[in-house]
Structure 1
Amino acid sequence: MDFSAYIHIPFCSHKCDFCDFVAFAGVTNQEDTYCQVVCEEISTRLEALDAKPRLTSVFYGGGTPGLIKPSNIFKIHNALLERTNLVSGAEVTLETTPQSITNAKASEWLAIGINRLSVGVQSFCDDELIAIGRDHNRAQAVEGLVTVVDAGFRNVSVDLMYALPTQVLASWKETIEELLRLAECLEYIQHVSAYALDLAANSPLKMRFPESSASYPSEENFIAMYELLIKSLSRGGFFQYEISNFSKPGFQSVHNLNYWRNGEYLGFGVGAHRYVGGYRTSNWRSLGRYLRDYMGNQTIELIEPSTRLREAIMLGLRMTDGIDLRRFSQEYGVNILEQFGQSIERLKAGDFIEVNNHQLKLSSKGVPVSNSIIAEFI
């Protein structure tokens, strides 16, 4: 069976004000110890499997994996390769902030086998970066992207965010246009992820800019931002394949597609999740507790058939191709058109979904309100 593998690197130079991920600033003195423990976790978990898992993708996420020493990424990657079968041409991604990139690091990442970078730019407007607590600026973002392409990376993804405090439609357009100008000059920018800000309950950003703050875009402007994103990226040669993801042809994220197709995945490191053999489990979110008990589970959940069904619908509708109804019926034993007939007819009448050639998918009108539509099925 094919898997994807996720390795969590929690270290950051600075924790952004909106961040609710398992990420820690000011503890890089624990980097070597942490990476050794991750290697031990990889060995222990994979030795317990009946056979070497076959990996179609590997993703180093964080945190900021690009911040730590490449030698530690090398150590972890070797531990993984020793106990798995990585398919030829597998996608191997590393997340980084722009200011963590150097020529030397980029060259070492390539030598390790990293063949895709995900660069967290978020915005090309300095005032917006300041508002959300990022510790880089526009110039550093441009420099980082130029550096990785010059170093030889041929698959670069850029992360953007919208619906930010102080952001308006005009400034969002500036960010998109700057990205498209860069993509024209740096042809190996192949992918864009663009997510609306999701305010975490205890984030410093929520304290500075409460949800009721007039600094956020209105609902009307939120939709306008999303529509501008789709239209502009399409003009620049990036086609939308998932609600928040766009790529040039052939450069969809293999790793994320496995999640959206409800595939199984391995996970290593503090706070990492895995989905294997019908169980979804996660490691301790506390760094100290993980280092003491790397095989312990913070959560463990048996995914019942009914839950798997609902999740498959939710994830499938996020993709622009939608759900192949015949394949879905074969895999899950459910005829969606029969089981959710009333909801589907109502949503079709409102032009929120489409059913054509055995495909169920969101319409262009339905995509901006996808959460409400998906709720009808789960």
Structure 2
Amino acid sequence: MTLAELAVTIAVLGVLGLAASRFGLSAIPAYLFAGILLGPNEPTLISLVQPTEVTAFVAEIGLIFLLFFLGLEFSVERLVRSGRHVGLGGAADVAINAGLGLLVGLAAFGPSFAALVVAACVYVSSSAIAVKALIDFRRLADDETDLVLAILLFEDIAIAAVLGFVATGGGTVGTTSWVATKALLFVAASLAASRWLGGPIGRLLGRLELEFFLLAVFGFVIGMSAIAKELEMSEAVGALMAGVILSDSGVRSEIEQRFFSVRDVFAALFFFTFALTIDLGRIPDVGWIVLLALVATVVGKVGVGVIAGRLGGFTARQGINAGAALVAHGEFTIILAQLAAGNAALSLAQRDEIVAFAGIYVLASATIGLLVMKESKRLGRILRPASVLE
């Protein structure tokens, strides 16, 4: 990406994002549309930007800061409180949504490894889109956001094993268990660091001049993400835990004030880069699979929110709000498809269809998911009126 291309990209993102805000919508669909408009795939009216290592790196930074800011909103006490939802919510999510995803995969590819890949694509929600939507719709402080965080955290840990499985064409029980164990140990160590080291870290940061304060925070976030990646987890888990550690440091408000603009700029570029892989020209080939997956996703995710919410002590309306936040799929679905594209266990035709399916499915689920989330409270009042609640 050249400087001229970057300038055009920023301009298009600004115009489309502003238009979306005028209609009271999240800017995410606008950023995705910008990627489709300027990207190399259909429609090819303006093929200006090609996916490169530079765009991939920018997208990675965007994902890291989105999850870092989510972590800043959750103290250890709130995470511990949401921890009781991890088992129930995570187990229900796997059973229902991976199961529905497998049915979609079997309908598309029959009994095969490709069906398992589709099941994984349908199962895992987008942490980045969910977090950005929670911010845009001002729902980070809602009680049911604890349930959303718990399920996303469970998925982020589970996806570490799933990514290895898809990349290799399968994996032993021992390998999968070891990856999951490392993820759990990393999260536990991070929570312990937040409890015992958050204060000292905050006092140390508070004594630094602004320039070195910014460098120290930036380096800490990137370092935690790098450690997570070295442990074969998503960098999103590391960024989330970095935020949790600094949430009780006493300098959270200053961190948020100094890094808000960094988060928003890189988040916009993340969703733009994300959309460069979407090819609308493949709708005639995989449209029916996408439609089937969308129905399964909306029913499955909202259903999980209601079921896990009721088991965790939330109302049905709160469960609907939580489930709606999980409908959008994104970065992990694309990563799974990219890994599958290089897997010799799949035929060339299967690889091609999975990549095409993933791109269009992400665009559709992100758009529908944001609309469902925006209207989830109204939907809850319709499905669960006051007379029923009484």
Higher helix share: 2
Do both share a fold (TM > 0.5)? no
Higher strand share: 1
TM-score, structure 2 length as denominator?
0.27
More relative contact order in 1 or in 2 (CA 8 Å, sep 6+)?
A: 2
